[in-house]
Amino acid sequence: MALEGEEGAPVWARVFAWWLAPAGGLYRAGMALRRRLYEGGVLASRGVPVPVLSVGNLTLGGTGKTPAAAWLVSRLLEAGRRPALVSRGYRGGSPGVTVVGDGKGTALPSPPAGDEAAMLARRFPRVPVLTGAVRADAAERAAREFGADVIVLDDGFQHLALRRDWDLVLVRGERPWGNGRVFPAGALREPLSALRRAGAVLLTGNVAPETRSQVAAIARGVPLFTARMVPEELLDGEGRPAEGLGALRGRRAVAVSGIARPEGFMAILAGLGAEVAEHHAYPDHAAYGAADAARLTESLRRTGADFLLTTEKDAVKLAPLVRGAPLRALRVGFEIGGADALARLVREAASGGRALP
């Protein structure tokens, strides 16, 4: 089966990938050995007293795992369950388990909490959100101390140290595998055959026919769904509902983003009719400081824009730094093709599905 190759990549990128190919082979062999050690019981895979549903992917970079985790939490709440969100956290800075949200309306800001965890705790004030390098510790604490009856594990597909009952794997709809090579020669975390472990696969964005056929051929029998990112709500800097989305049409904004794929954010703003005076694009999980705040407020003044417009994830970090400046955050979510069928799979898995190594 042909994968998309390196056509169109710069010569230096192809040479670099070729040069790193032996390291990619070693990484791939190491991942396979690690899996066999877990499957054989040589390395311990811990279970927790409640079902664990994970959201993950096969590649480095953004595919929409956090919006997918939020979608799962919403469906579980609708089903009357008591979910908790668990993740490793990003730049949380605290050893052990960090309670980012206690499920009673109290949430840590970012920092000290990681940006995505802080965002989810603010979005779901009645859902415990815990982070920790040892995710089994965080999951167990969520169940025993906070009364969760199901765990949603963010970025958990390769986390074999915690037993999962079901994995939702996200795949970009276009050029999903990069150059088709395993890290560090490419973007793959695992070989494509790992898709066979998935409980369901979610194809995100514009789905090329060849992507659908590739995934269907690799993961025979695994349910396939599609999802596209859509704007849901416009928030103020504190995460409260602000104007309706229609208020963006014809308004001037200074856009700010620190996400893996800012082009998706910009496309949504264009679709909503916002007039972007400037776009300040930062690296994913950017740690903003006073100099950034000064640059952004100066941009706001210079362009005469109506407000700073950012992502929900960035807003939890920017709001304390730009107090007094008009700030709006765009909340986005997934519109899923076959949502009812996927929600049914989620409910079934949360009621006691198969435990995975």
- Structural domains counted in the chain: 2
317/177 same-domain check = no
196/345 same-domain check = yes
292/150 same-domain check = no
204/276 same-domain check = no
pLDDT at 31: 66
CA-to-CA distance for 253 and 248, rounded, in angstroms? Answer: 9
CATH number at 275 reads 3.40.50
Spatial neighbors of 12 by CB under 8 A, at least 6 apart, are none
pLDDT tens string 138-167: 999 999 999 999 999 999 999 999 999 999
CA-to-CA distance for 306 and 336, rounded, in angstroms? Answer: 33
Between helix 115-123 and helix 65-78 the angle, nearest 10°, is: 30
Cβ–Cβ under 8 Å, residues 116 and 155: no
193/174 same-domain check = yes
Q: What percent of the chain has pLDDT over 70?
A: 86
Q: Strands, E, within the chain: which ranges?
A: 52-57, 83-87, 98-102, 128-131, 150-154, 166-172, 200-204, 224-236, 252-257, 275-281, 307-311, 327-337
pLDDT at 357: 44
Instruction: Domain of residue 100: give its range.
Output: 52-228+336-350
pLDDT tens string 166-201: 999 999 999 999 887 776 767 788 889 999 999 999
What is the chain's pLDDT, residue by residue, as a tens digit (357 residues)? 334 444 455 543 455 455 455 665 665 666 666 677 777 776 778 999 999 999 999 998 777 999 999 999 999 999 999 999 999 976 555 679 999 999 999 999 887 889 999 999 999 999 999 999 999 999 999 999 999 999 999 999 999 999 999 999 999 999 999 887 776 767 788 889 999 999 999 999 999 999 999 999 999 999 999 999 999 999 999 999 999 999 999 999 999 999 988 999 999 999 999 999 999 999 999 999 999 999 999 999 999 999 999 999 999 999 999 999 999 999 999 999 999 999 999 999 999 854 444
Would you state the structure tokens that stand for residue 243, as one six-digit string?
């104007």
CATH number at 202 reads 3.40.50.300
Would you state the structure tokens that stand for residue 213, as one six-digit string?
């056929």
CA-to-CA distance for 25 and 31, rounded, in angstroms? Answer: 10
Spatial neighbors of 340 by CB under 8 A, at least 6 apart, are none
Indicate the pairing of strand 252-257 with strand 307-311.
parallel
Q: Is the pTM of this model over 0.85?
A: yes
73/187 same-domain check = yes
Output the 3-class SS for 62-96.
CCCHHHHHHHHHHHHHHCCCCEEEEECCCCCCCCC
CA-to-CA distance for 83 and 236, rounded, in angstroms? Answer: 26
CA-to-CA distance for 143 and 335, rounded, in angstroms? Answer: 30
Mark out the alpha helices in 5-129 (DSSP H runs).
Answer: 11-39, 65-78, 115-123
pLDDT at 1: 39
68/185 same-domain check = yes
Residue 295 CA, chain-centre distance (Å), reads 28
CA-to-CA distance for 329 and 239, rounded, in angstroms? Answer: 8
Instruction: Specify the residue for token string 């066979």.
Output: 196
236/221 same-domain check = no
